[in-house]
């Protein structure tokens, strides 16, 4: 109906809905909206949980907390997962700022992990442990850089589509890893198992007796470094310019090809670090599913953090928190592993929606507005009398209270007016 009518008077175009960009929100509005999104997402999750297991509304929150912060070990685990996800997002950020759509973090991390594994498996015992760890790190970074630079070279010199290129490199990486595991484990179970389980050669040491702590600290340092690199270095500025407009970049004398390749070397190096931390610091083994989709989740984390390293911490933490808490709740409700993925999906959905409503205003056509007004009038018709009824009852009550409390109020007003220092007022006026 609407479409037909619109066609009739197409001189005056009045689309059903059109969006207008709003100015960037203030920081406190922005964070308030994030907070509200978390609350709304949690409520939706709880409601869905309650629908699947009636009466579990409260338990949902209980288990979400128990699954994440019930013990110091588990708390550390939340931060470890946050750290890995954050590091992947950080690796992607410089490339994304340059509008180089690198969706190959999954493969870049995996190939780095392969490099670390090769060193850990075949060089163990031939050199001191500290050197072995260093060789693992070097090899994983080298492998990942190669994996990231291949698409970059093709992009810089032949202008190939980097999205497809990096995506396909993921499959190559996972195929390669599967191949090597198959070659190393001839019995066909394709389970490499823990490498150096007794000697712990190549394992990152525990810090203060805690697993993962070294990973978390590394990521904190890298976060700061990437922030500085993007915000204050010449390189960081150059890649932003290349992202905004390659012509402008050329005009001001930036070597675009060099910038693309250099940025992807950085991207790959950080991915290699992730692979190293996963193998040497976390799993001590390798399989094709080691990264388990975090290379892709990292993309969302980077975007939702608006490429600001500190903002990304928030999203990465939330993903880790919901995944761990959700899987614990799922264990008890007998929902299976897909449950925590459903929760994550809801969170991302609400987050992206909040971003949308924060940055765009929805303008409805006059017809729709009239329709909304009708609905409004309808409700006014129903609720109006009720409102008036309540007004009738409560107005005298209110007047009565006013009569009683007005003198009290006046008394307090007098009391505080005397204490108020008059000097403060001009200062606030100046501001």
Partner 1 sequence: MKAKFKLSLFALVAVGALSACGQQAAAAAYNIKTGDSYELKINKSLDFSKVKVGLICLHDTNSTYDKNFIDSMEEARAALGLTKEQVLIRTGIGEDNTCYDACAEMVNAGCNVIFADSFGHEDYMIQAARQFPNVQFHHATGTKAHTEKLANYHNGFASIYEGRYLAGVVAGLKLKDMKEKDANVASKVGYIGAFTYAEVISGYTAWYLGVKSIVNDVTMDVTFTGSWYDETAEKNGALKLREKGAVLISQHADSLGAPTACEQNGIPNVSYNGSTEESAPKTYLVNSRINWAPYFVKMVESVSGGEAMGYDITGNRNDGSVLISDLGKKASTAETADYVNNVKKKLADGSLKVFDTSKFTVTITQPSGKEGDFGVNTAAKVDANGHLTSYMADVDTDANYTPDTEVVANGEFQESKFRSAPYFDVKIDGINLLDTQF
For the chain, give the number of residues.
Answer: 431
Angstrom distance (rounded) from CA 295 to CA 103: 8
Q: How far is the CB of 189 from partner 1 (least distance, A)?
A: 6
| CA–CA dist 33, 191 (Å, integer) | 45
DSSP 206-230: PBTTBTTHHHHHHHHHHHHHHHHHH
- Binding interface with partner 1 (CB under 8 A): 66-67, 70-71, 73-74, 77, 187-189, 191, 193-194, 197, 282-285, 287, 289-290, 292, 324, 327-328, 330-332, 334, 336-338
Locus of tokens 């490498």: 195
Q: Which is nearer to partner 1, 298 or 325 (CB)?
A: 325
Rama region for 308: left / alpha / beta (φ>0; ψ in -120 to 50; rest):
beta
On whether the CB atoms of residues 93 and 230 are closer than 8 A, the answer is yes
Of 44 and 66, nearer to partner 1 (C-beta) is: 66
Instruction: Give the shortest CB-248-to-partner 1 separation in angstroms.
Output: 46
CB of 82 to partner 1, least distance (A): 15
Nearer to partner 1, 71 or 126 (CB): 71
Residue number, 203 or 347, with CB nearest to partner 1: 203
* 183/185 Cα distance (integer angstroms): 6
Closer residue to partner 1 (CB): 335 or 351: 335
Closest to partner 1 by CB, 198 or 421: 198
Q: What share of the chain is helix, strand, coil (3-state, %, to 5)?
A: 75, 5, 20
CB neighbours of residue 421 within 10 Å = 6
- Beta carbon of residue 193, minimum distance to partner 1 (angstroms, whole number): 4
Question: Minimum distance between the CB of residue 175 and partner 1, rounded to whole angstroms?
Answer: 17
């Amino acid at each position: 109906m609407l479409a037909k009518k619109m066609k009739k008077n197409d001189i005056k175009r009045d689309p059903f809905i059109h969006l207008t960009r709003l100015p960037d929100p203030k920081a406190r509005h922005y964070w308030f909206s994030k907070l509200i999104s978390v609350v709304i997402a949690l409520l939706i999750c709880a409601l869905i949980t309650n629908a699947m297991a009636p009466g579990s509304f409260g338990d949902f929150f209980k288990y979400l907390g128990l699954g994440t912060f019930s013990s110091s070990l588990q708390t550390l685990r939340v931060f470890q997962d946050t750290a890995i996800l954050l590091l992947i997002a950080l690796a992607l950020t410089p490339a994304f700022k340059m509008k180089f759509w690198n969706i190959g973090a999954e493969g870049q991390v995996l190939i780095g992990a392969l490099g670390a594994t090769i060193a850990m498996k075949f060089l163990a015992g031939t050199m001191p442990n500290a050197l072995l760890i260093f060789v693992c790190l070097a090899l994983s970074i080298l492998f990942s850089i190669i994996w990231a630079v291949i698409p970059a070279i093709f992009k810089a010199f032949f202008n190939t589509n980097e999205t497809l290129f990096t995506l396909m490199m993921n499959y190559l990486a996972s195929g390669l890893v599967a191949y090597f595991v198959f070659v190393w484990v001839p019995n066909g179970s394709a389970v490499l198992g823990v490498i150096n389980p007794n000697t712990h050669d190549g394992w990152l040491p525990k810090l203060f007796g805690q697993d993962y702590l070294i990973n978390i600290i590394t990521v904190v340092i890298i976060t700061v470094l990437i922030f500085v690199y993007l915000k204050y270095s010449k390189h960081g500025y150059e890649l932003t310019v290349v992202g905004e407009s390659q012509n402008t970049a050329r005009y001001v004398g930036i070597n675009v090809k060099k910038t693309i390749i250099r940025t992807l070397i950085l991207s790959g190096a950080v991915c290699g670090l992730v692979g190293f931390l996963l193998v040497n610091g976390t799993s001590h083994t390798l399989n094709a599913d080691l990264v388990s989709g975090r290379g892709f989740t990292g993309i969302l984390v980077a975007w939702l953090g608006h490429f600001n390293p500190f903002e990304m911490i928030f999203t990465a933490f939330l993903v880790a928190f919901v995944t761990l808490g959700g899987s614990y709740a799922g264990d008890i409700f007998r929902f299976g592993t897909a449950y925590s993925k459903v929760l994550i999906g809801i969170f991302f959905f609400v987050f992206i929606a909040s971003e949308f409503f924060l940055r765009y205003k929805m303008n409805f056509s006059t017809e729709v507005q009239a329709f909304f007004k009708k609905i409004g009038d309808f409700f006014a018709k129903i609720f109006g009398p009720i409102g008036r009824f309540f007004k009738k009852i409560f107005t005298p009550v209110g007047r009565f209270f006013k009569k009683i409390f007005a003198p009290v109020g006046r008394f307090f007003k007098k009391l505080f007016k005397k204490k108020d220092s008059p000097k403060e007022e001009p200062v606030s006026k100046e501001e």
